[in-house]
Structure 1
């Protein structure tokens, strides 16, 4: 699974607990979007989570 290029947020592993108390492993993935952003002044395609996009940590390229 890919990670956010800005904050490093990645996949998290935990346990799903059913009503009958059966425990199974599951994963939570971040909402990653492939965007064209400025990296060191040059436009590149990077994977960024929506939280970083919304907060303005990424300057999008046109």
Structure 2
């Protein structure tokens, strides 16, 4: 399963972690995804959604 929001497309970001001694190592930042039951095209479906989309009301939750 891809670590990507199905509403806004937010996904994993890659960058460098830099220590105090300036040693650089690769690091990934993953979005805070939640598996929710939402209404998609009139039918309830389980989708992966980031918490930013949940809070802003872009997702209509199914009961």
The two structures have a TM-score, normalised by structure 1, of: 0.98
Alignment gaps of 5+ in structure 2: none
> 1:1-62 residue pairs with structure 2 within 5 A?
1-62=2-63
Alignment gaps of 5+ in structure 1: none
Displacement of 1:2 in angstroms is: 1.8
Taking the aligned partners of 1:34 and 1:13, their CA distance within structure 2 comes to 23
Q: Which consecutive segments of 4 or more residues in structure 1 shift more than 6 A? A: none
SS in 2 for 1:52: helix
The two structures have a TM-score, normalised by structure 2, of: 0.96
